[in-house]
Structure 1
Amino acid sequence: MKKKSWISHLVLISISVFMVYPIIWWVGAAFKSNEEMNSISIFPDTLIFSNFTEGWTAIPGFTFTHFYVNTFVLILAVLFTTLISCSLVAFAFARLDFPLRNFWFAIVLITLMLPSQITLVPQYDLFNAFGWVNTYLPFIVPHLLAGGIGGSFFIFLLVQFIRGIPKELDEAAKMDGCSWFGIYCRIILPLMKPPLVTVGIYCFLWNWDDFLGHLIYINSVDKYTVGLALKMFVDSNSAVPWGQLFAMSLVSILPAILIFFFAQRHIVEGVATTGLKG
């Protein structure tokens, strides 16, 4: 039994090293010069910390501070609209009785299974007709309407949680003269903290990593997000400063890593409590 356990641990450690190696190489490359990129060693003989300082100001006329501000403004606007719209839609599906409720909820679930590539072209044509290209509106407005990245999943998650809240609370509030919107604000919303935190974390991470969406709709450098700023390091007509590129890409994922590690308990709590009956 002990031998089997030893072999299992050895296999798991080997797989872990294999999976983590690219990340270790990436960290080492952030401290290398261009001449050392092709060397077999993971870390250089001399750590070049200037890759971080030079990479921060490498883009003419801008620093990465500007791109970070752009990214956080966009993500916070998307996050705020997502939490409001998805919670309202989920409350309607879970508590209100309106015609074809089950049909419309099935449509929401169908959009959850629909690949985003299918809607990419018609969505771009629509936003281009509205004059929204090269603005942040193609990201904010869909989330304001409970759409956008992960909207269907967030609605489904919140609906399952609300259904687990006893309806006796609603009935008691109605007896006190509370409206449906009052029930949402005073009863349901305060109890939805665990799943709302989960929705907020996923929304932040998925929109932070939405390089394709940012690439399609944002054209001006002054509106670039961090991901688009990294693209500017790669120029086919000149040498690529790989050390600076890897250094800035390493810095660019720090917010996502910090959010995940400090909030992973809330992710587990929000998912685990979804669908529990009160």
Structure 2
Amino acid sequence: MVWKRFKWPVYHILVTALAIIMLYPVIWMLFSSFKESRLIFLTADSLFPDTWIWSNYSEGWKGTIYPFSKYMTNTIVIVVIATIGAVISSSLIAFGFARLRFVGQKFWFALMMVTLMLPHDVVLVPQYIIFTKLGWLNTILPLVVPSFFGMPFFIFLMVQFIKTIPGELDDAAAIDGCGKFRLYLQVIMPLLKSSLATAAIFSFYWRWEDLLGPVLYLNSPEKYTVSMALKMFLDSESASNWGAMFAMSIVSLIPVIAIFFAFQKQIVQGMSSSGLKG
């Protein structure tokens, strides 16, 4: 009886303590964004700044070469296009694997699943050579076009969900003269909302934080993304503006945090309904 009485308080205390430990780097970065750049690492053991420097945010927003708003806009354009391509193409491919019957279906699905275990670094050089020959360097095409050919994780996620949809719906749609594409568009897609939302959110996160792709393919500063713009605050030859960089790092986290809290219910529903619930 005594343990049951203290079970929930102890549980919440432990979870809160663990959350604080995991969030401490972000909390430290938040308070460091209000410190003078030269004092950030000299006073790293002190969380709160002695003097609050609000100008770090205005200086950071001015950017280095271009205003930080331009880098935010560039990132949003890439993220939106890539996310739309990933969600639409992955859902269409998943529908094909889950509902259609064709020669080598199991083989192609297994081959697709194997690519999940393929390190991304392995394909960097072949991809770079292909995009160079296509003349796509210094454009957003290498960052968005591959998304329109499906993403294995999203395909697997949606296949698992589509398999839970009764096949009787297909038969009823066929009786009404509904073809395969109409079946996908008007029957499966509306039922796939939770998985589509999950895929969109994960795609947003992955594209927003991507640094390697933009570094490889974007050469002009006016086309840089947020992750590259943050790197520009650091200078190996002179003093780095750490305060402005941390300030803009906090600003760049706002869309990510907002998306998470706005759609966390869809994330849980999408993962659990797709057979991935822990």
SS at match of 1:253: helix
> What corresponds to 2:271 in structure 1?
271
Aligned AA (1:75): V
User: Closer, same or farther in 2 for the Cα pair 1:72/1:10, shift >3 Å?
Assistant: closer
Q: Within 5 A, what are the aligned runs for 1:151-190?
A: 151-190=151-190
Q: SS of the counterpart of 1:183? A: helix
Aligned counterparts, 1:107-186, within 5 A: 107-146=111-150, 151-186=151-186
Two-structure CA RMSD over aligned residues (Å): 1.9
Q: Is the 8 A contact 1:163 1:275 kept in 2?
A: no
Select 2:58's aligned residue among 49, 53, 56: 53
Quote how far apart the aligned CAs of 1:18 are: 3.5
Greater mean alpha carbon deviation, residues 68-77 or residues 20-29 = 20-29
Deviations 1:233-274 (A, max 9, x none): 111111111111110111111111111111111100111112
> What's the offset of the Cα at 1:216?
1.1
Structure 1 gaps of 5+ residues are none
Please tell me whether residue 22 in structure 1 is matched to residue 25 in structure 2.
yes
CA deviation string 1:10-31 (max 9, x = no partner)? 6665554443332221111100
Contact 1:90–1:155 (CA<8 Å) still a contact in 2?
Answer: yes
**Distance in 2 between the 1:250 and 1:131 partners?**
35
| Deviations 1:139-178 (CA, angstroms, capped at 9, x unpaired) | 22111111xxxx1000000011111111111111111111
Going from structure 1 to structure 2, the CA distance change for 1:190 and 1:223 (only over 3 Å counts) comes to same
Instruction: Kindly state the Cα deviation for residue 211 of structure 1 after the two structures are TM-superposed.
Output: 1.0
Whether the aligned pair in 2 keeps the contact of 1:70 and 1:224 (CA below 8 Å) is yes
Report whether the alignment pairs 1:191 with 2:194.
Answer: no
Give the deviation of 1:84 after TM superposition: 1.2
Give the structure-2-normalised TM-score.
0.92
Work out the CA distance in 1 between the residues paired with 2:274 and 2:13: 36
Alpha carbons of structure 1 residues 115 and 173: separation in structure 2 relative to 1, 3 Å = same
Identify the range of structure 1 (92-101 vs 121-130) with the bigger mean alpha-carbon deviation.
121-130
- Return closer, same or farther for 1:18/1:192 CA change in 2, 3 Å cut-off: closer
- Report the CA distance shift for 1:172/1:275 in structure 2 as closer, same or farther (over 3 A): farther
* Distance in structure 2 (CA, Å) of the matches to 1:208 and 1:65: 15
Q: CA deviation at 1:8?
A: 7.2
Q: How many residues align?
A: 271
Equivalent pair of 1:67/1:229 in contact (CA under 8 Å):
yes
Given that 1:56 and 1:248 are in contact with CA atoms closer than 8 Å, whether structure 2 keeps it comes out as yes
User: Conserved in 2, the CA contact under 8 Å of 1:67 and 1:223?
Assistant: yes
State the SS of the aligned residue for 1:238.
Answer: coil
Q: Report the alpha carbon displacement of residue 58 of structure 1 after superposing the two structures with TM.
A: 3.0
Contact 1:36–1:44, Cα closer than 8 Å, also in 2: no
Cα separation, 1, equivalents of 2:55 and 2:97: 54
Paired amino acid for 1:116: H
**Structure 1 match to 2:261:** 261
Task: State how far apart, in whole Å, the 2-side matches of 1:97 and 1:52 are.
Answer: 56
- Normalised to the residue count of structure 1, the TM-score between the two structures is 0.92
Cα offset for 1:36? 2.0
Question: Partners of 1:246 and 1:187 in 2: how far apart?
Answer: 47
Gaps of 5+ in 2: none
CA distance in 2 between counterparts of 1:50 and 1:16 reads 30
Structure 1 Cα separation of the partners of residues 187 and 127 of structure 2: 37
Which letter maps to 1:56? W
Whether 1:101 aligns to 2:105 is: yes
Shift of 1:34: 2.0
1:88 maps to which residue?
Answer: 92
Summarize deviations over 1:195-229 as a string: whole Å, max 9, x none: 00001000100111111111111111011011111
Superposed CA offset, 1:81-105 (max 9, x none): 1111111100000011110000000
Q: CA–CA distance in 2 between the matches of 1:225 and 1:209?
A: 9
In 1, Cα distance between the equivalents of 2:67 and 2:267? 33
